[in-house]
């Protein structure tokens, strides 16, 4: 395949900047060129040093201290980390909630995204209309307004229960039930499958029709075509969507904050990692402890990403490997 399979492929080509810098230039980049370039880079470099790299290092230092913003940090060594893993039950609860959320919402979201994208990719009339309607929720989904709406939809007297009542089912109070509250948030995430769907659609369009025709000549039915053509050729896109969604899902904050009234309730059933971190940092002013939590979150996301990349070589097929 000569054209790149959308997102992932372009990401890869991007990691190797300037395919091959011209030799004679690479030897001596003169002062004037540097000057001009750094003029353009200046704002970003200031941001990189003061808002990204500096804070990351500072946050590591703070994670080893007790810090409340108003008095200078006190050295604690690894105490914050020890406390986190050995004593803090709420911390474990926040891990449990977040992992449940990630492991449920990401696969479901991707399954819906792929399923609908496959249906839309049949050259139907009205593709643009359907695509817009299915995409809209993922555009609005991060907002407080949608979280408030969701809270009402799943309220005890909300529409879900009213519809259930028509079938004679007396639904639970979803939002205030420790059994169901987290799943309403999973549902809210799945409802936003539109943006991975749009990426899948772009990927499906890149699969040349000849491959399907050839498969058909060989006697492949629709199921066989899906598993032997579509799915393997789409693996780079699936991989890309998977990684992006995982990274995003670990950081979910707004819906949980609004739906639980900022507390992660009922009884910590929706105490997302980020919510607990926010509480420790900005309600309890345990900035050192929160920094340690932030570092563990970075490690978790980094590990998840690394594992995904490691696993990729077993299941992701790039078109030009042959």
Partner 1 sequence: MTTPSMLTRKPKRLTIRWRSIIVHGFLIVGALVMIYPLLWLASSSLKPANLIFSDLSLWPSKIRLQNYVDGWRGAALPFSSFFLNSFIVSGLAVVGNVFACSMVAYAFARLNFVFKRTLFALMMLTIMLPLHATLIPQYALFYNLGWVNTFLPLTVPKFLAVDSFFIFLMVQFIRGIPRELDEAAVIDGAGPIRIYWSVILPLLTPALVTTAVFSFIWTYEDFLSPLVYLTSMDLYTVPQGLSLLMSSKGASSWGPLLAMSLLSLVPLFVVFFVFQRRLIEGIATSGLKG
Considering only residues 197-226, where is the footprint of partner 1 by CB under 8 A? Answer: 198-199, 201-202, 213, 216
Q: Are 204 and 231 in contact (CB under 8 A)?
A: no
Stretch that binds partner 1, among 42-50, 94-102, 223-231, 307-315 (CB under 8 A): 42-50
134 Cβ neighbours under 8 A, 6+ residues apart: 116, 120, 193, 194, 197
- Give the residue with the Cβ less far from partner 1, 291 or 322: 291
- Give the residue with the Cβ less far from partner 1, 274 or 322: 274
Residue 41 binds partner 1 (CB under 8 A) = yes
CA distances, 267 to each of 181, 260, 277 (Å): 10, 10, 17
Place of tokens 């079938």: 167
Q: Are 7 and 238 in contact (CB under 8 A)?
A: no
- Give the residue with the Cβ less far from partner 1, 269 or 290: 290
**Residues numbered 83-142 forming contacts with partner 1, rule: CB under 8 A:** 116, 119-120, 122, 124, 126, 130-140, 142
Stretch that binds partner 1, among 80-88, 100-108, 225-233, 273-281 (CB under 8 A): 273-281
Q: How far apart are CA 299 and CA 311, in angstroms?
A: 18
Residue 62 binds partner 1 (CB under 8 A) = yes
**Residues numbered 246-265 forming contacts with partner 1, rule: CB under 8 A:** 247-248, 250-251, 253-254, 257-258, 261-262
Q: How far apart are CA 170 and CA 218, in angstroms?
A: 53
Note if the bond before 50 is cis, omega within 30 degrees. no
CA torsion through residues 253, 256, 260, 261, sign: positive
In the complex, the smallest distance separating the C-beta of residue 150 from partner 1, rounded to whole angstroms, is: 7
**Residues numbered 290-309 forming contacts with partner 1, rule: CB under 8 A:** 290-291, 294-295, 297-298, 301, 305
Tell me which residue of 104, 96, 91, 151 sits closest to 245, measured CA to CA.
104
- Give the residue with the Cβ less far from partner 1, 160 or 231: 160
**Can you tell me which of 2, 3, 14, 20 binds partner 1, judged by CB under 8 A?**
14
């Amino acid at each position: 395949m000569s054209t790149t399979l959308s997102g992932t492929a372009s990401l890869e080509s991007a990691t190797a900047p300037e395919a091959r810098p011209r030799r004679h230039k690479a030897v001596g980049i003169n002062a004037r060129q540097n000057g001009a370039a750094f003029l353009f880079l200046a704002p970003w470099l200031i941001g990189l040093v003061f808002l990204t790299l500096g804070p990351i290092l500072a946050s590591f230092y703070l994670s080893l201290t007790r810090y409340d913003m108003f008095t200078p940090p006190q050295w604690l060594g690894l105490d914050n980390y020890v406390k986190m893993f050995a004593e803090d039950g709420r911390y474990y609860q926040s891990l449990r909630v977040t992992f449940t959320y990630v492991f449920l919402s990401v696969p479901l979201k991707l399954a819906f995204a792929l399923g609908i994208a496959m249906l839309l990719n049949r050259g139907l009339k009205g593709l643009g209309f359907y695509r817009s309607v299915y995409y809209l929720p993922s555009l609005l989904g991060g907002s407080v307004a949608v979280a408030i709406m969701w809270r009402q939809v799943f309220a005890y007297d909300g529409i879900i229960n009213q519809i259930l009542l028509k079938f004679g089912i007396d639904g639970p109070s979803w939002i205030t039930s420790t059994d169901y509250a987290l799943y309403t948030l999973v549902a809210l995430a799945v409802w936003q499958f539109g943006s991975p769907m749009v990426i899948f659609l772009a990927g499906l369009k890149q699969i040349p029709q000849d491959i399907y025709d050839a498969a058909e000549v060989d006697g492949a039915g629709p199921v066989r075509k899906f598993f032997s053509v579509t799915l393997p050729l789409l693996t780079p896109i699936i991989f890309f969507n998977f990684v992006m969604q995982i990274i995003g899902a670990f950081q979910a904050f707004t819906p949980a904050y609004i739906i639980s009234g900022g507390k992660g309730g009922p009884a910590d059933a929706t105490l997302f990692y980020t919510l607990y971190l926010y509480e420790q940092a900005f309600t309890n002013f345990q900035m050192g402890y929160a920094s340690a939590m932030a570092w563990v979150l970075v490690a978790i996301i980094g590990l998840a990403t690394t594992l995904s990349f490691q696993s990729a070589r077993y299941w992701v097929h790039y078109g030009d490997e042959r």
